Chain A
Amino acid sequence: MMSTDLRSAMGEFKVHRVRFFDYMPSGIRALAFNQDTERMAVARMDGSVEVFHCSDRFFQEKIIPGREQFGIEGLSWVGERLFSAGLNGGITEYDLTNQKVKYTIDAYGGPIWTIAGNQQGTHLAVGCEDGTVKLFEVNEDNIQFERNLDRQKSRIVSLSWHPSGSKIAAGMMDMIQVFNVETGHSMHRMLADRGVGTSRSKECVVWSVVYLSDGTIITGDSVGMVKLWDDQTGTLIKSHNVTKCDVLALSVSQNEDSLVAGTSEGIVVQFQFVSMVLGKDDKEWVRTRTFRNHTHDIRAVAEITTAVVSGGMDAQLVVRPLLDKIEERSAASALRKIHFPHRRLVACARKSGLMLFQYPGHLELWRLGESEGKGIPGSSLFVKRNPEKLLHLKVKGEDHIRCSAVSPCGEWIVYSTASTLRLYRLHCDNNNISITKISKLPKVLSSANQLCFSSDSSHLFSASAQSSVHLVSISQSGCKFVGTLKPKSGSHQAIHLLAASEDGKWVASANSDHEVHIYNLQTRKAHCTVPIYSSAVTAMGIHPATNCLFMMHADQQMFEYSIEQKQYTDWSRTVQRKGLHRLWVERDTPCLNVMFNPQNPSHVILHDMYMLCIIDQSLPLPDDKTQFYNQLTLKSLTEEQRKSHSHAFKVCKTFKDILCVELMPDQSLVVVERPLEDIATQLPAPIKQKKFAT
């Protein structure tokens, strides 16, 4: 940790620069895009599934944590239902409203390599290690095994349905098989060439297959070829040598005029179905663009209407917009790289200077260090006491942690997995640290979607099913269920954000339906609902002095809602009327925390992955003509001129790759950084490539 003096026009802060949170994002294994709901489902190596909202700036709406030994190999949407299959041999359906696994059934075919649903939404097909393609009928609340297609000798690696649903193409070792779904018999068997030279002895794995409505089958294989086959004759039409390594993923656009292929070199190659002679209809697949945004294997690609989404071993989700499909260029059409989850993984006990880091399988509790004296702005201070890891708390069971919290006083730690919720009490006498598990928890605290302590640490808020919030009082003696706060709307979506007011009167919850409910804790009744905005809430906080709820949305809009008056504040209306600065709106990561400076009530502190911002509500708002990042300019001006030039947004870009920023009561800031370079060094080595002039 380093301590830095951060002094500028926006005020003076001592900063704890925390870099000991070794968060490692997990590699992306599969992608599935749902055209109707515009949701992108992402499966990661650790078995977690995330749902991104494509038209809402790719906000990470839902996270379903994984579990140990639960590798996902394929994802498929059937209607609005999401299924996954993995090497453990089971097919899993997810309950997206409550963000948990609904059920898992075994396919009895050994490890499953691929899963594909037909466009009609009636059947799921899985490809198994034992060489069978199994068809499952999708019923209203479960799936049921229907039959096997002709069993093959080698494992089925990839599957694709013909859009009509009558044929299935399956990629295997060294060959591609086309099945008639009606009869279950094989129609064609097409052999994929092995590579030349030494790789001739290695078998060719058909990693990915795409069946087009005109009967063309496109395959990507381990030889590095993208091949086009005709399903009428079972012959090769054309082959494109894309790479020397493997072509791991293929995806075709909805209207079948564009195809993307992801390779293990980390490049995405686009093919387009263009007419060779303008104005005529004889079209051909031509290799066009190449996107190089990854350093490691690309395990999954998906072409959505306006962009190519790719993910791989380097754990970043890259959204590369296709400019030719975009009507007008805007913030929504920028290249987007999603590295960190849009949830807070760090909780901070403000009063006691403790940090709780949430890893998938364990929690870590750290005490912040202390520094000495004052320095000049920008300089680093001498660290008097090093930060100290107090606790390493392993999760019981196989499930990964869904959410966790530490109480402001630092006495209580709580976490929840999909199945259990555990509350611990921390005893801290000098250097002796011990925890005790609170054994008798009320029944309602079986699992939580989001957890939050009240500011005086006397109550725990636990968001659970049906958008309800359970209120539990905690004390030395034990834990007592106080009541349940239920919204009036009757929404069933899970709550992903909770915010409690400083005075203990209010609590606000935000769910995936973009609803924000405010509850009165004294009456334990719903107080009001904030008017629903079209974009998801990414962060919110209740102002300690005015009790106004400040909300940040995924589209970078901000609202301030007076709880007592049940209406937007004047400032919020001014912001909406005048509009936000273009540069503010074009930022591509959501704000993840809202804080208030008790010493300066007009200040709101926000942060996203790249910057830290203080909004001074007393200053005029910038319009599009004013310089937005004006810190340097202001520095060079005299005190008098500064007044006329300054505006409400004070942005600090000193810190990068920020996971969390927290304001401590002693006016120091804790900035938790996770440099992407550090993540890159911990990734496995990429495929070695010859670089020019090396």
Chain B
Amino acid sequence: MLYIYIYIYIYNIVRCGGSKVNLRPPIISTDSRFLLCASGDLVKVYSTRTEEWLHSLQGHTNQVTGIALNPANHLQVYSCSVDGTVKLWDFIDGILIKTFIIGYPLFAIYVSEKHEGVLFLHVSMATDSKNECFQLVAVHLPKSAEQEVEAKEMSVVSSHISSNPSCTAFGRGGEYIAFARHLQLNVYFFRKQKTCSFSLKATDKKGAKNAFTCIACHPTDDCIATGHEDGKIRLWRNFIHKKEYTYSTQHWHHNAVNTLCFTPEGTHLLSGGIESVLVQWQYGAGNRKEFLPRLGGSILHISVSSDGQLFCTSHSDNSKLLSFKCLFLPMLFMLSGDGVLTDLMIDPRSKALVLNGKPGHLQFYSLLRDKHLYNLDIVQQEYIYEAGLDQFEVVKAAFDIKGSWLATVEERGQKSSDLEFFLKLWAFDERTQSFVLNTTITAAHTDRIISMCFSSSKETTMLVTIAEDGQFKAWCQGADADTQQDQNFWSCDFVGSYHNLKPTNCSFSADSSLLAVSFQEVITIWSPETWEMLTTLCQPPGVIRDLCFGRLSCSKYLLGTTTRNLLCCWNLLTCALEWSSSVEVSKLQPDPLSENVAAFSYQSKHTDVFVFKPSEPRPLFTNKNVCSEKVHRAVFVPREEPLNNCDESSQWLNRSQLYFLTQNMDLLTFSTATEEDRILSSSKQLVIDDSVAVTPFYLLLGKHGQQQQKLNTQSHPAADKPQQPQGSVTIKELLHTPAHVLPAASVLCSMFVNSLLISNTGVQEEMDSEKEEEDSEEEMEACDSQQELRVQGSVDEVTLKLSKAQERELKRVRKTDFSWMAGLIDSKP
């Protein structure tokens, strides 16, 4: 079985109900150890110390639109989603505790300590997608023990709120909630049940744009900070009075303030905008402020840990930075949000995915570890964060087969007529383990470079570029006698053209003995050795869109796609068309490690994937309706260890994995069933028993529980429990469990040793098991206090689901149970 595993990175834009819903601010757990981010339909948990992805909270079926720590239990987190549910998670262990069904698409969640059992949600009430109508509702969570509860008790706080979730914030101690929409600030006081509204003029004589963009409330004072479209920050006070309210204005940002955040102590206010500068205003000291500039893309959200030590900023380019006061750790995952201009590439050395990163950079992204490795500065110019500027951007990049050369093209003025571009060649420096600029070619062509590729031979590296000026050029290293230097620079080796037609694509054969360059409808085959044109291949009308040679056993084939919905395959030995098929192909991607070629076809508003071998026109694998957008970029990523999948339809995934990028900047991939099982297994293991809190501790000591449960079937309906893992699984559990939740080492030790023993058969086994029981009985006493705690915890959770009578029963049963155990031990010897 094959299925699509959707791999949505942080900050992707999902369109829901016609409105744009941006990613929500990340939250830092109370102990500052974890960072939680809403990402697609997942909530990802990262460690703030190692910056590594730990696990994901999986369960929502649509975009997660908000996360908030449970104010009653700081180890739990609420998440809301467009699918109309709010889920409560234990985010450390990744367990779904409860699901509340609201029934409307939800867009943001707010919680407050003062309002226990009440969630505040942004709900879209719009029936037709055009007029956005968001409401702020308070939802009373029902105290039901079931896993899935329908929350029906709702009350509307405000029926007209901004779609931007940053425009709503809880005030000091949850006494009031402030929300802004356009030019109006509203403060709803819960105690008086009264709303105070304050409006600003749309513009004044000086051309200020006063629309609200974000809001933050001071944690201890009654002060509301609001950000505005023209970059002003206003601090509102005395807003209990309709007339005597007052505000002070600060102005530093030159563009809209995207986010505001007070530190937990309330001593500082943090603000961020497009300038990519984190501004730290001293609260109450007027203009005094500090800056943290050049953070990356424009700042979208800021969150602060509860101890005020960690700031987390999320940026439009999908990166997140954790800053530890002023010394900060650049961190985390980014997958550029503002559009990927380069192809998806794999760095042959690090096996990292390479694509546009920060503006003017290429980023290296480890798919295995889901981690951003580093950015390579290509443009080497300061990027100015301001809307409407035309700045250099990396548009093309290519690696040679060994990964020792990187070619990049940067371009400016795509929109205007005066195009500027540079071709740069970078050599891999073994010593520094990074790419070093070798050659910059300022006027490689007279017009824009359309495409480029390196030859695939291992001996000589050659780069071929094709451009809109109708020429293709081959570039070689060295051989320049004039510059008598040690270093070898790249220079032009050959310029070719064909009837002044515009080239569209170029490709080297697997052994680099042939170069295919397509000129409009004609494919020309050249020999790179002699630069002589060997043959031309014509095909039925249609401009060639994609061109690739077959690999390995199919290297005699050349594949091409045209704009007129045709996929052709030529046999280069006969120079004849082998087969052709009428299919609209938007992207053709060969696998470098096998003969397989993947074709993405966009038809009737969805994309289909075909995988085939050039030798036969029959697809190996077909998957219809992979996604609803066009796919223009795809890459095969070689696996570290090949899989041995014998299933015919998934064999093509054995050596490498196919990743592709949709127009919505979702990176998707195919994964096999076994992988999927592996991914899900851990979470499935944890979600087994509904009635008892599942901890690794429980898993270890589960045997007792099981025995007890058998006796208490009246209160514990027989749980459908899988066989407890033995041996290595237990060790794994032991090693993977955080130390603070483990019982004392003395307790574990004997069990651990026991688990390693090879059990004997017959009478001795019985003896052993009895002994084991005795042992564990002692352990029970030894770790009595810990047990108590645990029991308490589990009882608490039981109360969620059991009626009082049942609960009492359970307690009684537990008591008797223990005494019975004692009796048993007493009677035995």
Contacts and interface: CB of A to CB of B under 8 A. Distances in A.
Interface in B227-257: 237-241, 243-249, 254
B642 interface: no
A324 interface: yes
B287 interface: yes
**CB-CB nearest 8 A-B residue pairs:** A276-B221, A288-B248, A278-B222, A288-B246, A278-B240, A324-B244, A274-B238, A324-B243
A387 to B, nearest CB: 36
Contacts of A277: 172, 220-222
A241 B287 contact: yes
A692 B245 CA distance: 30
A275 B238 contact: yes
B235 to A, nearest CB: 8
A347 B6 CA distance: 87
B288 interface: yes
Interface string B210-222: 0000000000111
Nearest to A286: B237
Contacts of B222: 275-278
B286 interface: yes
A279 B240 contact: yes
A427 interface: no
B617 interface: no
A230 B658 CA distance: 73
Contact of A242 (B175, B246, B247, B286): B286
Contacts of A241: 285-288
A290 interface: yes
A326 B288 CA distance: 32
Interface in A250-293: 272, 274-279, 284, 286-290
Contacts of B542: none
Contacts of A286: 237, 248, 284
A290 B249 contact: yes
A240 interface: yes
A289 B249 contact: yes
A240 B222 CA distance: 20
Interface in A286-310: 286-290
B223 interface: yes
Interface in A212-240: 240
Given A287-B248, A288-B246, A289-B246, A272 B237 contact: yes
22 contacts: A241-B287, A241-B288, A242-B286, A272-B238, A274-B238, A274-B246, A276-B221, A276-B222, A277-B220, A277-B222, A278-B175, A278-B238, A284-B284, A286-B237, A287-B286, A288-B247, A289-B247, A289-B248, A290-B248, A290-B249, A323-B243, A324-B244
A330 to B, nearest CB: 15
Contact of A274 (B237, B243, B285, B286): B237
B488 to A, nearest CB: 46
A194 B240 CA distance: 39
Contacts of A324: 241, 243-246
Contacts of B239: 278
A260 to B, nearest CB: 13
A276 B246 contact: no
Greatest chain B CB density within 10 A among A240, A278, A284 is at A278
Nearest to B284: A286
A286 B285 CA distance: 9
Contacts of B248: 286-290
Given A274-B238, A276-B237, A290-B248, 12 more contacts: A240-B285, A272-B238, A274-B246, A277-B172, A278-B222, A289-B246, A289-B248, A289-B249, A290-B249, A323-B243, A324-B243, A324-B244
Contacts of B237: 272, 274, 276, 286, 288
Contacts of A274: 237-238, 246
B153 to A, nearest CB: 29
A101 B821 CA distance: 110
Contacts, number: 53
Nearest to A258: B246
Nearest to B239: A278
A486 to B, nearest CB: 50
Interface residues of A, number: 19
A52 to B, nearest CB: 25
Contacts of A289: 246-249
Contacts of B240: 278-279
Contacts of B254: 692
A272 B246 contact: yes
Nearest to B176: A278
A276 B240 CA distance: 12
Interface in B263-293: 284-288
B221 A240 contact: no
Interface in A139-165: none
Interface in A668-694: 692
Nearest to B242: A324
A241 B254 CA distance: 22
A290 to B, nearest CB: 6
B136 to A, nearest CB: 21
Nearest to A289: B248
Contacts of B249: 289-290
Nearest to B238: A274
Nearest to A226: B286
Nearest to A692: B254
A207 B240 CA distance: 35
Nearest to A238: B284
Contact of B286 (A240, A275, A278, A284): A240
A15 B549 CA distance: 87
Interface in A120-179: none
Nearest to A279: B240
Contacts of B243: 323-324
B53 to A, nearest CB: 41
Contacts of A275: 222, 238
B245 to A, nearest CB: 7
A353 B239 CA distance: 61
A323 B223 CA distance: 20
B266 to A, nearest CB: 10
Interface in A374-399: none
Contacts of A240: 285-286
A453 B93 CA distance: 100
Contacts of A288: 237, 246-248
A692 B221 CA distance: 32
Nearest to B252: A692
A18 to B, nearest CB: 30
B577 to A, nearest CB: 62
A249 to B, nearest CB: 18
Contact of B223 (A276, A279, A290): A276
B282 to A, nearest CB: 10
Nearest to B245: A324
B384 to A, nearest CB: 12
A286 B286 CA distance: 9
A324 B246 CA distance: 8
A211 B255 CA distance: 41
Contacts of A287: 248, 286
Contacts of B175: 278
Contacts of A242: 286
A278 B236 CA distance: 12
A289 B245 CA distance: 11
Contacts of A272: 237-238, 246
Greatest chain A CB density within 10 A among B220, B254, B287 is at B287
Nearest to A327: B243
A287 B239 CA distance: 15
Nearest to B244: A324
Interface string A393-424: 00000000000000000000000000000000
B667 to A, nearest CB: 39
Contacts of B285: 240-241
A692 B251 CA distance: 11
A650 B245 CA distance: 41
Nearest to A244: B287
Interface in B767-823: none
A241 B286 CA distance: 7
